[in-house]
Chains A and B, each alone.
Chain A
């Protein structure tokens, strides 16, 4: 069966520090991968999606970037975090015509 792993679960970082959140999927090949952000009490906003290795599309202009170095690995990064980057980050995967399945999320607090 397919599983998705996302870490860390929580992260507290100072303003201006770098960021790296990692997501890996097991049990499927060539999945679509997604990074979402959820502000407190709000719905999910799609940040990035990827349909294959090295293929990244950004949905909104922002301080973050994403990379897909391997088929089932998706990384969310920043060189310098801003206070506005705080939030709950969720990684998800899907295959064609199937629901997206989410990781457990990372709560990121910027101080």
Chain B
């Protein structure tokens, strides 16, 4: 069965510093996708970044980058130059294809607090 593990319930970072949020996954599928979403206190889920299992390079989107280590089955999110607005829950998710749909399996999330 596919599983996402986020071992950090909470993380703290100083404004303008970088922070890494950990994510490990478990799957026997050769093809899969990994996602990170941000959930502010208002509740909406905001897509941040995507990494395909066959992608050779780590994904980057502005201040977000994904440190993809396939052999270790890890997909850590790196946020550079943290801002106060980055304070939120962050969820790692893996896509599995089944029955024509593309389902996401989510981790339990990491609460990031950015301190001024």
Contact = CB atoms under 8 A, between A and B. Distances in A.
A32 B35 CA distance: 17
Given A90-B45, A96-B102, 12 more contacts: A34-B101, A44-B45, A44-B104, A46-B104, A88-B43, A94-B102, A97-B33, A100-B47, A100-B104, A101-B47, A102-B37, A103-B44
Contacts of A92: 45
Q: Mostly helix, strand, loop or mixed at chain A's interface? A: strand
Interface of B: 33, 35, 37, 42-47, 50, 91, 99-104, 106-109
Interface residues on chain A, size class: 20 to 34
Q: Could you tell me the dominant secondary structure of chain B's interface residues?
A: strand
A105 B43 contact: yes
A46 B91 contact: no
A44 B91 contact: yes
Contacts of A46: 103-104
13 contacts: A32-B100, A34-B103, A43-B91, A44-B106, A49-B103, A57-B99, A57-B101, A90-B43, A92-B45, A99-B35, A100-B104, A104-B43, A107-B43
B106 A99 contact: no
A25 to B, nearest CB: 15
Nearest to A50: B101
Interface string A24-68: 000000001010000000111110011100000101000000000
A42 B108 contact: yes
A99 B43 contact: no
B102 A104 contact: no
The 4 tightest CB contacts between A and B, nearest first, are: A102-B45, A43-B106, A51-B100, A105-B43
A100 B95 CA distance: 10
- Chain A CB count within 10 A is highest, among B37, B102, B103, B108, for B102
Contacts of B103: 34, 46, 49, 59
